[in-house]
Amino acid sequence: MELRILMDTGVLIYLILQTILLLFGTYALLGALQILRRWNFQATSPRQYSLEKRSYLVMLVIVFLTFAKIALFPFFAYTLDHLATMIPGAMCAAGVVEGVWFGEALLVLKLGLLFSGGVWLLLNRLDLQATDYPFMRIKSVLFVVIYLLLLLESGMDVAYLQGLSTKTPVQCCSVIYGVSGEQNALPLGLGTATLLLLFYLLFALQPLLLLQRQGYLLALANGVFLFVGYYAVVHFFGTYIYELPTHKCPFCMLQREYYYVGYLLWGSLFLGVFFAAAAAFLQATVKKPMVKLQRYSVWANALFTLLCSYFVVSYWLKNGVLL
Amino acid sequence: MAGSFFHFLLLTLYKNRFFHATTLLMAAVLIFLLASGLFVVGSLQKQTFLNLAQQPEFVVRKLRGGRPVATDEQLLYALQEIRGVTAVRGRVHGRYDDPVFEDTGFELVGIDIFEPSLTRTLRKLTAREFEKLSPDQMLVSPAVKELLRQNYYESEYLFHRYEGGTMRMEIAGVIDRDYALQANDVMLLPMEKAREVLGLPYGTFTDIALEVPNELELDTIKQTILSRYANVEVIDKRKMAARYQTMYDMKSGVFLSLFTVVLLGFVLILYFKYSHVLSSAKREIGILRSLGWSINDLLRLKGFETLCVGSVAFMGGFIAAFIYVYGADAPLLGRIFLGYGELPVDYDFKPFFDPGLFAQLYLLFIIPFSAAVIVPVWRLCIIGAKEAMK
Amino acid sequence: MIRVENLSKYYGQGRERKTVLQAIGLHIAQGECVVLKGVSGSGKSTLLSLMAGLEKPSEGAVYIAGEPISKLPDLHQSKQRNRHIGFIFQAYNLFEDMSVYENLLAPLIPRKLPVKEVDRAVSKALEAANIAHKKHTVVRNLSGGEKQRCAIARALVNDPEVILCDEPTANLDKDNAALFTRQLQQLKGAGKTLLIATHDPLFETLSFVDRVVTIEQGRI
């Protein structure tokens, strides 16, 4: 790892915190494995009683871990954004992410980790509400998976930071996402108009699915909405945030110039999709519809859609034309 | 729910105020030290980049045997012809060591009264005094002025000319304190006089500054110059910026690494402090358990307690550091980062709140802080009600 | 109301195993007042703890209002305890630094009630225990009898069906003990189930006591 990159305030803090979390994760893992091996709620042995107490520690650590990871994800994005000042060619986090071949995969992994952590929290809630810890085993297995993801993530973090170079130039976002880039084309040959139509239709579909209590379909719709929303922001709504028709980038909106609006925008989309998918996952596990979560999902997506539309409308009101 | 829970939270916080006060104090001091250090570095960095933004995009100078030599006007006119270059200006500057002041030199900068295209910085530096400056008057930085005054040069100063003999210059005024960081040892004098002191022949320059407004043309222009002239060096502003960035990043990085060690110590102290809670705290837990509080309720109470103490300590330390650095200009600590040059730097820190830095520091503090108390708090919350109340 | 089935409690393991309670069976009906009599160390306060779910049994089970309190996860056990059981201790176990009102707040917090209902519950309990005039006095400044009444108010604030008393008169003088027994009588009148663990012979003479159960070396 180049000293310059290691010595960056954000990178240093990130690595310190990630190390702490990994240590605590390992501690919780030992507890989770013990629970997997010895858990027997019917027993009245001192061992079971002490295991029940221990399960609270495991729970506490995982809750701590998940909340810390939720806070660390935007922090990581912020740090990448800052690294852009050191890496030649990069104007924002886009270039930094692309600076190493698995940069995008790492971001997806991080999101996956947040997702599993969130599901764990919800499952834990259900488990505590029941009278016989019905999900103790599933929870423990899920945590083992989370731990493995965490290990993988930490390894990839280090490899990623090691792979970044302050000498080799990278592409800036206008090349990666812009007119001349390779990822510029919309998938399936969609045009902007079709994309937007799809975007709003999918959004309108969600409250209907909620009313019909179609949890699995809602999750499916959200899965599609994630992709459509992503492309719609990069290719259409983003240009209104930047007020520049050629500026297509999912990362620049995380910067101070745009009042960090990207965090809110992407955060609301992620939450929307998360709640829908988690609801479906829990519905499959618990065999009960998770209406509350589905409702959260619709609200979060509504915030996302409203935010996207706001930039277009406000541009139109200010300038009287569209881009 | 919220009402009575937070009422009770405040009560227990108040009840254990002496226990929390020591934690609070330690944590606040820690945050204060870290935040002040990073504020100082951040502020210097910001000022440096503001200054840098005023600089020309390229500086070209002639080399002979790899060493810079005076450039003539021909090169200046030739550079003017390159497409995309909007302004070209010959600059005269250099180091002048006065034999009287050992170890102390001045940075001489020549200014051309009749030159309309002064650099933007110089224009700002001299805005007030420039118009009325006569050929044997000069402007100096506040630090230089003070040094000269101590050596009985109250209103004028005697230069030793390169070619021999002396030259008397009147000190007409001082430049703005805001530029102290960049121009702490500077003397501004008419260009011709500066050439005389520095030993540059008439019509030659130390280097040539180019202004290129279009970012996209920078690389092309640089290549053009380098391919056309073999004996020149092109100093790129972007390279300078990167170098400054590295320098400041390293400064904060080293400071932060040292701090991490201190943080580790703090975490250990916290761990032991929370592990040896008083029997009264145990009794409190036992009573609450008997009243029907679940382990979850207790953990929530203790969690909020920790978060409150941590956050209050953080805010306290952060605000104190803000006042110390931006209000009082960081006495003592500022010195470490400004460094002792030959002349003391008198620098005025401009208040600047960076939400990114705030969030970074908060996370760096609150995560280890919570981590330290997790296990002790759990151990406290699970003890049997019966043994707790003994 | 309270059903104890084949309840045993040991501490330690193997040869060092110490039996505190041995196969206890007990049934207390709703509204009944039972005195649990025994010398100190006979296991009566352990039995009380087990009934409230503050300790886990080695064998057997406890049912409160039909719910197997000893077999539930902590969260539910605590909820049961919070709803159904009020405790009155020998040492009062009040928060000495807090006011009477604030002491009464503590059992209400896990119920997550709105503020209005919290205030109503507190007022009602203060009236019932005859301590309303000291609502904002810090407990440390109360007399022994007032502390006892504050403890009663706290036990009543969640309107539980069962009141468990552990040596309630040990720290009281004669007059206050008499006052306390009168209050107990009122509680019984209000339909509460009372279980009083004590070695004070005073309780055996009381008219409203339905039954005296003697516990000796962990057996009834």
Task: Work out the minimum CA distance from B275 to partner chain A, whole angstroms.
Answer: 15
* Partner C contacted by A52 (CB < 8 A): yes
Give C-chain residues touching B294 at CB under 8 angstroms. Answer: 74-75, 77-79, 110
Which helix (H) or strand (E) segment holds residue C36: the answer is strand C33-37
What is the overall mean pLDDT for chain B?
Answer: 83
Residue numbers of the domain that contains B351: 2-51+243-388
Rounded CA separation A246/A177 (Å): 10
Q: Which residues of A touch B356 (CB under 8 A)?
A: 78, 82, 256
Is the alpha carbon torsion for A74, A76, A79, A84 positive or negative? negative
Please name which of B308, B251, B339 lies closest in space to residue B39, comparing C-alpha atoms.
B251
Question: For residue A323, which of A313, C72, A74 has the smallest C-alpha distance?
Answer: A313
CA distance C118 to chain B (A): 8
Q: Is the dihedral of CA C43, C45, C49, C55 positive or negative?
A: negative
Measure the CA–CA gap between A11 and A17, rounded to whole angstroms. 10
Q: Dihedral of CA A264/A267/A271/A273: which sign?
A: positive
B65/B207 same-domain check: yes
Contact present, A207 and A297 (Cβ < 8 Å): no
Q: Do B290 and C93 touch (CB under 8 A)?
A: yes
Chains contacting B (3+ CB pairs below 8 angstroms): A, C
Domain annotation covers residue B234: no
User: And the tokens for A168?
Assistant: 């080799």
In 3D, which of C128, C123, C127 has the Cα closest to residue C187?
C128
Using CA atoms, how far apart are residues A239 and C173, in angstroms rounded to an integer? 82
Min distance C202 CA to chain B CA atoms (Å): 25
Query: What does the pLDDT look like over C186-196, one tens digit per residue?
Result: 888 888 898 88
Compute the distance between CA of residue C95 and CA of residue C183 in angstroms, rounded to an integer. 22
What's the mean pLDDT in A235-255? 87
Chain B 331-390, CB below 8 Å of chain C: which residues?
384-386, 389
DSSP state of C169: T
Closest Cβ–Cβ partner in A4, A71, A256 for B246: A4
> Which chain B residue has its CA at the smallest distance from A61's CA?
B374
User: Could you tell me if B90 and B29 lie in one domain?
Assistant: no
**The pairing of beta strand C193-198 with beta strand C33-37:** parallel
Q: Measured between alpha carbons, how far is C18 from C49 in angstroms, rounded to an integer?
A: 17
Task: Name which of C76, C79, C112 to mutate to probe chain A: the one with the most chain A Cβ atoms within 10 A of its Cβ.
Answer: C76
Q: Is C57 touching A (CB cutoff 8 A)?
A: yes
Alpha-carbon span B121 to B113, nearest angstrom: 15
Are B167 and B309 contained in the same domain?
A: no
Please report, as a single letter, which amino acid is at residue B355.
P
Task: Over range B194-207, report the average pLDDT.
Answer: 88
Whether residue A128 and residue C56 make contact (CB cut-off 8 A), yes or no, is no
In a domain, residue B218? The reply is no
- Give the pLDDT mean for C23-48: 84
Contact across the interface for A49 and C57, Cβ inside 8 Å: no
Indicate which of C16, C17, C21, C56 best probes the interface with A, i.e. most A CBs within 10 Å of its own CB: C56
Across the interface, whether the CB atoms of B378 and A60 are under 8 A apart is answered yes
> Do residue B117 and residue B194 come from a single domain?
yes
Q: Of B166, B188, B211, which one is at a domain's C-terminal end?
A: B211
Instruction: With CB atoms and an 8 Å threshold, state whether A13 touches B364.
Output: yes
Same domain as B170, residue B27: no
Q: How far, in Å, CA of B332 to CA of B320, rounded?
A: 15
| Residue range B292-325, pLDDT digits in tens | 888 999 999 999 999 999 999 999 999 999 999 8
Q: What is the mean pLDDT of chain A?
A: 88
Give the type of residue at B170.
E
Residues in contact with B335: Cβ distance below 8 Å, sequence separation at least 6, in sequence order: none
Contact C59 A49 (CB under 8 A): no
List Cα–Cα distances, C81 to A103, A126, B253, in angstroms: 53, 21, 54
Q: What is the pLDDT of residue B124?
A: 59
Residue of C nearest to A45 (CA): C58
Residues B12 and B150 in one domain: no
- Whether B388 shows a pLDDT value over 70: the answer reads no
pLDDT tier for residue B343 given thresholds of 50, 70 and 90: low
- Nearest chain A residue to B370 by CA distance is A64
What tokens were used for B14? 């108040």
Q: What is the mean pLDDT of residues A11-38?
A: 92
Mean pLDDT of all residues in chain C?
85
In angstroms, the CA C18 to CA C37 distance is: 21
CA dist A292 and A281 (Å) reads 14
pTM: 0.84
Testing the interface with C: which of B19, B290, B293, B301 to mutate, by most C Cβ within 10 A?
B290
| CB < 8 Å to A44, chain C | 56-59
User: Which pLDDT score, from 0 to 100, does residue A29 have?
Assistant: 94
Subunit contact A17:B38, Cβ cutoff 8 A: no
Q: By mean pLDDT, which of A22-31, A117-126, B157-166 is the weakest?
A: B157-166
pLDDT digits (tens, 9 = 90+) for A209-220: 998 888 899 999
CB contact under 8 A, C58 and A132: no
User: Does B341 map to a domain?
Assistant: yes
Domain boundary among B191, B211, B231: B211
Kindly tell me if the per-residue pLDDT of B126 is higher than 60.
no
Q: Which of C20, C40, C69, C78 to mutate to test the interface with B (most CBs of B within 10 A)?
A: C78
Closest residue on chain A to B383 (Cα): A53
How many structural domains comprise chain B? Answer: 2
CA B249 to chain A, closest CA, distance in angstroms equals 6
Residues B47 and B66 in one domain: no
Are both B193 and B308 inside the same structural domain?
no
What's the half-sphere exposure (Cβ side, CA atoms, 13 Å) at A68?
Answer: 27
Asked whether residue B255 is domain-assigned, the answer is yes
Give yes or no for C6 touching A (CB within 8 A). Answer: no
If you search the block for the tokens 């972007």, which residue do you land on?
B238
Average pLDDT over residues B245-251: 82
Report the percentage of chain A scoring pLDDT > 70: 96
Q: What is the DSSP string of C56-94?
A: --SEEEEEETTEEGGGS-HHHHHHHHHHHEEEE-TT---
CB contact under 8 A, B253 and A7: yes
ipTM of the complex: 0.90
Residues 107-146, chain A: which have Cβ within 8 Å of C? 128-133
Two tokens, residue A171:
């592409």
The full set of domain ranges for chain A reads 3-172, 177-319
Q: Where residue B123 falls among pLDDT bands split at 50, 70, 90?
A: low
Domain shared by B384 and B269, yes or no:
yes
From A303's Cα to the closest Cα of chain C, the distance in A is 30
Strands C67-68 and B87-91 turn out to be unpaired
Measured between CA atoms, the residue of chain C closest to residue B381 is C74
Handedness of CA A178, A182, A183, A187 (dihedral sign): positive
Q: How far is CA B11 from CA A162, B286, B306, in A?
A: 50, 17, 14
| Cα–Cα distance for residue pair B362/B352, rounded to 1 Å | 17
- Taking an 8 Å Cβ-Cβ cutoff, which residues of chain C contact chain B? 45-46, 49, 52, 54-55, 74-75, 77-79, 81-83, 85, 87, 89, 91, 93-95, 97-98, 102, 105-110, 112-115, 118, 154, 158
Provide DSSP, C122-147: HHHHHHHTT-GGGTTSBGGGS-HHHH
Q: Which residues of A touch B368 (CB under 8 A)?
A: 16-17, 20
Same domain, B76 and B100: yes
Residue B283 lies inside a defined structural domain of this protein: yes
What band does A67 get if pLDDT is binned at 50, 70 and 90? Answer: very high
Residue B181: pLDDT band with limits 50, 70, 90: low
| Residue B249: closest C-alpha in chain A | A8
For chain B, the straight-line distance linking the first and the last C-alpha, in angstroms and rounded, comes to 31
Rounded Cα distance between B200 and B198, Å, is 6
Q: Is the pLDDT of residue B201 over 70?
A: yes
pLDDT value at residue A311: 92
Beta bridge partners of residue B208, listed in sequence order: B60, B90
Q: From residue C27, how far is each of A56, B272, C5, C45, C55 by CA, in Å?
A: 33, 47, 8, 17, 19
* Claim to verify: residue B46 and residue B156 sit in the same structural domain: no
Does residue B217 lie in a domain region? no
Judged by a CB distance cut-off of 8 A, whether residue B387 touches chain A is: no
As a whole number of angstroms, the distance between CA B376 and CA B382 comes to 10
Q: For chain B, what is the HEC assignment?
A: CHHHHHHHHHHHHHHCHHHHHHHHHHHHHHHHHHHHHHHHHHHHHHHHHHHHHCCCCEEEEEEECCEEECECHHHHHHHHCCCCCCEEEEECEEEEECCCCCCCEEEEEEECCCCCCCCHHHHHHHCCCHHHCCCCEEEECHHHHHHHHHCCCCCEEEEECCCCCEEEEEEEEECCHHHCCCCCCEEEEEHHHHHHHHCCCCCCECEEEEECCCHHHHHHHHHHHHHHCCCEEEEEHHHHHHHHHHHHHHHHHHHHHHHHHHHHHHHHHHHHHHHCCCHHHHHHHHHHHHCCCCHHHHHHHHHHHHHHHHHHHHHHHHHHHHHHHHHCCCCCHHHHHHCCCCCCCCCCCCCCCCHHHHHHHHHHHHHHHHHHHHHHHHHHHHCCHHHHCC
B124 or B64: which carries more pLDDT confidence? Answer: B64
- Mean pLDDT value across residues A119-148: 91
Q: What does DSSP say about strands C162-166 and C193-198: parallel, antiparallel, or unpaired?
A: parallel
pLDDT tens sequence across B264-274 = 999 999 999 88
CB-based contact B296 C106, cutoff 8 Å: no
Question: For position A60, what pLDDT does the model report?
Answer: 92
The interface residues of chain C toward chain A in range 69-88, judged by CB-CB distance below 8 A, are 72-76
Q: How many whole angstroms separate alpha carbon A180 and alpha carbon A172?
A: 11
Task: Please check whether residue C117 is in contact with residue C103, taking contact to mean a CB–CB distance below 8 angstroms.
Answer: no
From B4, B287, B384, residue closest to C109, measured CB to CB = B4
Co-location of B82 and B34 in the same domain: no
- The answer to whether residues B87 and B58 touch, using CB atoms and an 8 Å cutoff, is no
Last residue within a domain, chosen from B160, B193, B211: B211
Mutation for testing the A interface, residue in B38, B215, B304, B363 having most A CBs under 10 Å:
B363
In chain A, the residue whose alpha carbon lies closest to the alpha carbon of C60 is A44
What confidence tens digit (pLDDT) does each residue in A269-303 have? 999 999 999 999 888 888 888 889 999 999 999 99
Report the residue of chain A nearest B360, measured CA to CA: A10
| Nearest-Cα residue of chain B relative to residue C56 | B384
Residues B11, C96: Cα–Cα separation, whole Å: 12
Would B175 be classed as within a structural domain?
yes
When pLDDT is averaged across residues A22-48 and rounded to a whole number, the result is: 89
Q: Convert the pLDDT of each residue in A173-210 to its tens digit.
A: 777 776 555 555 666 667 788 889 999 999 999 999 99
Q: Using 50, 70 and 90 to split pLDDT, how confident is the model at A160?
A: very high
H/E run at residue C165: strand C162-166
